[in-house]
Structure 1
């Protein structure tokens, strides 16, 4: 129900009742403005886009905490989300009502992440994604009509070209590792598994007859240097990867030296049980990196890059490389490794020359006949 009526002071009072019977009213100098407002409200009700003007009075922090606690985040993600909100969003936006936050406010906040907090461009985007998710949820819950994060200008992330390890560097790194982890280096460079996937690999996942390894779980570190066996990062991370002979030989030698049952981990901590990432880095990886003369910032992910580079050098398509790495799509693969794919200029020249050559040969054949 909606109506518009002129008041004694000459202003026009437009009002309507929502689905719950609550009355909403606004005053206008002109009747046409009041009628336009009522028309817009009526249209939003009919299209299912109506938002109660009072719904957005909830503070960003109150709604953000409600949203955070309801999300089924994994432990590592939950920890990051809580930090993003507590450290970067709540101090600026926490006490403000959802409906009072404008796009310009959010743009200033995004810029402040770099200027005030000194965050790198990639970190700014990660934090922004969390806050953007809160506002998207508020729109879905009909607390606000629009997401103030829409159209944000985010800092550009400088592209760093991956410089993969050479085969010789991989071999030297493996030789410098403790005996119990040498095959892990070969496996990482020979299959492209992520560090957590390497740590989560159990003997039952290896199929020496079919020369394949099944990837269906990972080991993640938790607070207090604990670990948990959990699901993989994405649906596409679940995959079966071919085992090259060099990897099979390394694994066979490893399991002979460090026997394990089907349900036990292929690689375990010295005291037994799953590998704790920080212990592995402190007690094995960094020492081996230094001994083999690699840059100090070389991490286990370098083995994955080495694998991708060898596939690309071997002529594998971006689709195959993407599938082997467990990427969500080929675009993600190209974003990281596009500079490693062979230049197409020579192939373009050869293709055109070949086409014209075939035509010339055809003409000569016809003339000869």
Structure 2
């Protein structure tokens, strides 16, 4: 048996009594007698490492001994020491192992540093309960939609801890999150789009038509090179994006998702805007870091369509200084970003009768579900269409005749 009594020696002497029979003497007290916990369980964990644990009561030691051997045999063993590391310590290990790209890495790091670690960071990860997370969700100083993103990081973190057998179960169960206001997207009008373009510096005006006419994300538009625009076939090949992270100059990176790498149609207004742009501001070769292959980053010459006044890649910080005045001059609310042009493009397709799949492919969303979640309110005729289909199929209601 692997349960040892540390207060008494397991070896017992014997004597021969007057009747000639051998009798066992009482156990001999050890040097530890009366000090510390009495019962010790020795076992070998799933890595083959010898371990032990002390208990005050023998029944507790016996139950643990039986349970730990079962867990090791079934591959369910969890080292109690792993659960004693803090949430902050485990989060550092977890974040370092994620395949987050630059901007996402910054967002995750900032979210933990500002909103998660100050509240949950010092709690041992094995002692975090759903009540801790519910309290965090109630008091976190974030917009509801942003709080849900932060909570998704916690779900991922604790899910990894379960898979790594750091903890037995995830505490992310039964947590109620703040309700998200389902406010619609701000969709600029065609006049507002033209006004934005008119109020931007001339070298940036065609960017507006790329966003509104093709639905490209801002980084995708800034990452366009001359070779990506096929005027003959009237196509734009979206293969990369220009991105920025703290402390770095802009660099070329992979697009957001696999489906973001796509070919989009080039409508005439956008083609005309790009043709004018190339006449007035010809594409120039720019030395820019290229991290399309993270294992082999390099610096190369890129023939970017859009550059700043110094013929350098456009930085998002300097871009806002030109965009915001132009957006306000067009009558858009403060802090309306380039993404509103993408919303315009999406709703234009939807209202013209495009299917969910068509819109998903044009926008480069990862799944149709993402498109539906983003723009479900823009298919206003679907309910009426369903009603019409049922009415045409079933016809008018008639009172059933009684069966004899």
Bucket of the pairwise TM-score, normalised by the shorter protein: 0.7 to 0.9
Q: Does 1:293 align with 2:331?
A: yes
Deviates more, 1:264-273 or 1:44-53: 44-53
Deviates more, 1:134-143 or 1:314-323: 134-143
Q: Does the CA contact (< 8 Å) of 1:4 and 1:35 recur in 2?
A: no
Equivalent residue number for residue 365 of structure 1: none
Q: Distance in 1 between matches of 2:181 and 2:123?
A: 34
**What number of residue pairs does the alignment pair up?**
349
Of residues 293, 300, 323, the one that matches 2:361 is: 323
1:297–1:252 distance in 2 versus 1, CA, 3 Å: same
Q: Does 1:139 align with 2:165?
A: no
How far off is 1:25 after superposition?
5.0
Q: Does the CA contact (< 8 Å) of 1:57 and 1:97 recur in 2?
A: yes
How far off is 1:84 after superposition?
2.5
Equivalent residue number for residue 264 of structure 1: 303
Q: Distance in 2 between matches of 1:293 and 1:327?
A: 29
Q: Distance in 1 between matches of 2:106 and 2:284?
A: 34
Equivalent residue number for residue 278 of structure 2: 255
Of residues 102, 110, 120, the one that matches 1:75 is: 102
Q: Distance in 1 between matches of 2:114 and 2:272?
A: 49
Q: Distance in 1 between matches of 2:165 and 2:311?
A: 52
Please list, as runs of the form range in 1=range in 2, the aligned pairs for 1:53-132 lying within 5 A after superposition: 53-113=80-140, 118-132=141-155
Q: Does 1:333 align with 2:371?
A: yes
Q: Deviations over 1:101-156 (max 9, x none)?
A: 2222222223221xxxx321122222223333333333233222222233322212
By percentage of residues, which structure has more helix? 1
Helix, strand or coil for the counterpart of 1:274? coil
Q: Does 1:177 align with 2:200?
A: yes
Helix, strand or coil for the counterpart of 1:222? coil
Q: Does the CA contact (< 8 Å) of 1:59 and 1:94 recur in 2?
A: yes
Q: Distance in 1 between matches of 2:242 and 2:126?
A: 42
Deviates more, 1:184-193 or 1:289-298: 289-298
Q: Deviations over 1:256-313 (max 9, x none)?
A: 111125841111111111111121111x212211222222232100100000011011
Question: Structure 2 length as normaliser, TM-score?
Answer: 0.77
How far off is 1:178 after superposition?
1.9
Q: Distance in 1 between matches of 2:121 and 2:387?
A: 60
Of residues 201, 205, 212, the one that matches 2:235 is: 212
Select the structure of larger CA radius of gyration: 2
Gaps of 5+ in 2: 9-33, 286-301, 396-404
Q: Does 1:273 align with 2:312?
A: yes
Helix, strand or coil for the counterpart of 2:331? coil
Q: Does 1:51 align with 2:89?
A: no
Q: Does the CA contact (< 8 Å) of 1:106 and 1:149 recur in 2?
A: yes
Equivalent residue number for residue 234 of structure 1: 257
Q: Deviations over 1:59-88 (max 9, x none)?
A: 222222233334343332332333223333
Gaps of 5+ in 1: 358-369
1:343–1:47 distance in 2 versus 1, CA, 3 Å: farther
Q: Deviations over 1:138-197 (max 9, x none)?
A: 323322222223332221211111131222322222222221112111111011000111
Q: Distance in 2 between matches of 1:2 and 1:232?
A: 57
Equivalent residue number for residue 24 of structure 1: 53
Helix, strand or coil for the counterpart of 2:50? coil
Question: Structure 1 length as normaliser, TM-score?
Answer: 0.84
1:76–1:356 distance in 2 versus 1, CA, 3 Å: closer
Helix, strand or coil for the counterpart of 1:143? coil
